[in-house]
Structure 1
Amino acid sequence: MRTIALSLLTGAALTMAPPLAPPAAAQNIEDIITGAAQSLIAQELDKNAYIAAQNTNTISAYRDYLERFPNGVYRGNAERAIARLGGNVKPTEPAPTDSAAAVEASLGLSRAQRVKIQQQLTTLGYPTGGADGLWGRNTRNAITKWQTANKVTATGYVTGQQVRLIGQQAGAAPAPVPGDEGADYQLEERLLGLTTSERREVQRRLTTLGYNTFGADGVFGRNTRRALADWQRDAGERPTGYITADQLRALRQQS
């Protein structure tokens, strides 16, 4: 009798006990698989986004990558690429959208494009001190001089339209002849783009100062070239017979 009661009590205790929990590994296996898959997908998206930025190879493309993946695997590469292209990786404050520097930055010029523009400016008579794609003081000065000669706001920073104009002028410019120093002065005068009325103004001002051009018809012929050369000689300038932007300003001040 005691044996039967003991057996009944043991069975009841077993029936009332909570079921055993599954092993921890089996319980979390689904979460582990899901997390691993998500990590692989994130890595693939990160990689594809950086490859896309590389293919475009512009400052804006690399910045777009960094905005999407601020802690991405290729963050360091993207920051170095931005610096190589002349951009600021971490600007202290956003530049005004209407500033000259911001306009140039929005072009996203590549290193190769910057080198080409430096070469074109030098060809046009505005030396940049080298063509390495790094736009320092010499290049900014060259851009400023070119802008002044072309009667646009002299900021030292280019716009998209100015980049195209520099390219057009450099393509149309004749190759410099070694030892022919006058070729640079002819080119500089041509780049001023003087209108007929402005040419007449030059002739009238020269005549007023005592350098007779024998007429103000807007055509710079032999008499005007001689008058210009005489005025330049008396002003302590090289008597080339071709006027520069600086000389035009001086002529206006004198007369």
Structure 2
Amino acid sequence: MDIPARRWLIVAGVSVVVAVLVYVFAVLTATGQSLENAALRGADQYGDTARNAADTNLGQITVYSLACAVIAVAVIGLLRRRWELAVAAVGVIVAGQVVTQGLKRYVLPRPGLVPLVGHYAENSLPSGHTTIAMTVLFAALIVAPYRWRGVALFLFLGWAASIGSYTVTAKWHRLSDTLAADAISLALACIASWWLARCGLVHRYEGRRRIPRVLIVVFTALAGLTALALGLLLLIVPLSRYGLDDVLRNETWDVYLVAQSLASAGSIAAALVFLATWRRKRT
């Protein structure tokens, strides 16, 4: 197996491990469940305008919009006269929903380790909406020609990252749901890329570096690092000052902001990792 193909399998394996670790900590420990429940309570302090906006944006993801996305990426692949690209891109989106819904509905339990009532006690990991957003992004990056890959990142990443954040604001999902969805989507996209490489469709790009794309990647990385730093700061400072029990009781707004920031950071990180696996690679 050549090196370009192997890199995608390695990243896919690491992504699966990340998804498992997220599930174990956030769902199978009382601390993880308590922190995420606190974030849900903190979201109640958000204004109705913000929650309605989140609901509206999430509501735009429907079966019909998903079908349009599938058709769009398939058409791009076929216009490039590469049916393999169309199959890989469509496969990432479709497999994302099969895996996500299967795990959420039939495989991954959410034990009741802390007191909680209502539909929030039900399992919601991984997030189907986040999976849709991220797999559409990855599919676009797969079918896009090399020169347009940076444009595809610019057009889709802001939307994809915001979906994860919206799910937390609207209380449709917890932070762990979005992080697990990011990891699963990345794993599936890497498997599709590995298949393309094994088919001999991935080649090294020998042209010059494109400065606009470099600027897009740098700006995206800075945005991701900012979101990550903000999330960690908002978590570490209250914990060091008040302790976990007090934070869970009285600092739920901060815990919500942590979840929202880390949700965006997770999506950005997954996108940049996938883009890095395709560095100077073309189809």
Alignment TM-score, normalising by the size of structure 2: 0.18
Report the TM-score, using the length of structure 1 for normalisation: 0.20
Query: Larger relative contact order (C-alpha < 8 A, sep ≥ 6)?
Result: 2
- More helix as a share of residues: 2
Structure ID, larger Rg? 1
